[in-house]
Structure 1
Amino acid sequence: MKTILHAADRRGHVSFGWLDSHHSFSFGNYYDPEKLHFGMLRVLNDDIITGGSGFGTHPHDNMEIVSIPLQGAIEHKDSTGTQAVINVNDVQIMSAGTGIKHSEYNHYKDKDANFLQIWIIPKKRNIEPRYDQKSFDPAERVNQFQTVVAPDDDKATWINQDAWLSLGNFKGGFTTSYVIKKAGNGVYAFVLNGSVTINEQTLYKRDALGIWDIEQLEIEATTDSELLLIDVPMVA
């Protein structure tokens, strides 16, 4: 078993007035040679956008981009003609493929929006750009994991990679196991709220633990907690 701990207060941080963002990995002006990626997971940004603000139209290619709102709503528009509002309990994924342009704005003028922006390196390059968005019932992740992104599950949003994203809301004292989906994958566990212990490592709000060369995680919620697991290949 191998692990790497990324404490919440050691993340990169930028603030532009309209945007307050914490970066788990090197991104933009934040560079840490020890935090370039975790396997095929390239970006995990924890973004807070003020009311009426957002990211103007910009390009991407050959990246799987997942957006998970935690508070408020995000308004999306892209060069495929897709326009959508992404709310809490929605998950959006965009396969940039051969190239796509998009914008992301806070849907509301009078309150902040907080969302996770996650980039995963694709399995196949230069596919046709595509968009997917689904709503998920939070009751289905109480004391269990709910898969929200997968390459092989019609109930989840589809991803061009052997990667799975799962959310869980756990009551304090609850214990569970998570079996890694594919041999050779690792898991990046990110605590959204509360505190958990994973394989004897205690984590608090916005802490993360990368773990690999193991088949199963043992998890205990030490308080009421929300947890995101990102199960990704460690090599291409």
Structure 2
Amino acid sequence: MKILNPGQIYLADQRYLMETTAIRQYSIFNTGSFYREHQQPLGALQQLDDIILAGSKSTTLVADQPLYYVLLPITGKVSYQQNKSATTITDVGQLLLCSVPANTDIVRSNPYPANWINYLQIVVQNTSTASYPGAQTFHFDLDAEPDTLINITGSDYPFAISIGRFGGRREATYFLHSRQSRLFAFVITGAFELEGRLLHERDSLALWDIEEAELEALSNNAVIMLLEIKA
């Protein structure tokens, strides 16, 4: 019998929902007045929110401290703007990574008149003194690299993001940079078994004290994102 490594599951139906006529935001970690003991931020990973935004609507996040902001569209394009600067459009198959200074307004908008869009936003603390580009757009192609974990962000940042789409019963192994790193997995579609845990669509899993993580897709066209917070 395989020994389970230390970890914590975050079920999709236990996320906090903030809903208006313009937005539905599902937050995995504690935010605002929402607090649960077992849903505190995972080290430097402060937020991972699943956002559905109505046509022509916008939403703003205020960065009180330096941070890394990651935008990953799931359906539709997303418009991104900082402090009324130039607008960046990010599409499916792209990931926007921004190094954001303190006291910055981060505005995301839906460029479509009527259609809703869905995207993930990830917020990571930035305590580094290293210099990174203000904004970078990374490209990936799930069709060109099936059944593979695609390293999107490379090795330059204090975290690494990978994504993969798998056929049923396809397997992969993710190797962490060090045993002191923490790994956070988010299932975008389908179902997976990851290190002995069953994860359904929009479920998440945090793992630590590991050197590698084995996953197996339990459905066709299952998509998973992995975020490693390096030690």
TM-score exceeds 0.5: yes
Unaligned ranges ≥5, structure 1: 153-158
Unaligned ranges ≥5, structure 2: none
Q: 1:47 corresponds to which residue?
A: 51
Judged with a 3 Å threshold, the aligned counterparts in structure 2 of structure 1 residues 178 and 127 are, in CA distance, closer, same or farther, namely closer
Q: 1:61 corresponds to which residue?
A: 65
Judged with a 3 Å threshold, the aligned counterparts in structure 2 of structure 1 residues 32 and 129 are, in CA distance, closer, same or farther, namely farther
For 2:174, give the aligned amino acid. Y
Structure 2 distance, partners of 1:147, 1:80, is 31
Q: 2:42 corresponds to which residue?
A: 38
Structure 1 distance, partners of 2:31, 2:174, is 29
Runs of 4+ in 1 over 4 A off after TM superposition: 56-60, 125-129
Q: 2:162 corresponds to which residue?
A: 166
- Check the 8 A contact 1:64/1:93 in 2, yes or no: yes
Q: CA deviation at 1:78?
A: 1.9
RMSD, aligned CA: 2.0
Range 91-100 or range 220-229, more displaced: 91-100
Range 23-32 or range 215-224, more displaced: 23-32
**After the TM superposition, which residues 1-236 of structure 1 pair with which residues of structure 2 at under 5 Å, given as runs?**
1-56=5-60, 58-79=62-83, 81-124=85-128, 130-152=134-156, 159=157, 161=158, 163-224=159-220, 225-233=222-230
- Check the 8 A contact 1:41/1:121 in 2, yes or no: yes
Structure 1 distance, partners of 2:84, 2:24, is 28
- Check the 8 A contact 1:98/1:129 in 2, yes or no: no
Structure 2 distance, partners of 1:82, 1:151, is 27
- Check the 8 A contact 1:25/1:42 in 2, yes or no: yes
Structure 2 distance, partners of 1:67, 1:139, is 20
For 1:184, give the aligned amino acid. Q
Judged with a 3 Å threshold, the aligned counterparts in structure 2 of structure 1 residues 198 and 58 are, in CA distance, closer, same or farther, namely closer
Structure 2 distance, partners of 1:140, 1:39, is 33
TM-score normalised by L of structure 2: 0.90
For 2:24, give the aligned amino acid. D
Judged with a 3 Å threshold, the aligned counterparts in structure 2 of structure 1 residues 173 and 22 are, in CA distance, closer, same or farther, namely same
Judged with a 3 Å threshold, the aligned counterparts in structure 2 of structure 1 residues 6 and 40 are, in CA distance, closer, same or farther, namely same
Give the secondary-structure state (helix, strand or coil) at the position aligned to 1:30: coil
Pairs aligned (count): 226
- Check the 8 A contact 1:98/1:127 in 2, yes or no: no
Give the secondary-structure state (helix, strand or coil) at the position aligned to 2:37: coil
- Check the 8 A contact 2:185/2:227 in 1, yes or no: yes
- Check the 8 A contact 2:62/2:103 in 1, yes or no: no
Structure 2 distance, partners of 1:219, 1:126, is 33
For 1:233, give the aligned amino acid. K
Amino-acid identity (%)? 21
Give the secondary-structure state (helix, strand or coil) at the position aligned to 1:38: coil
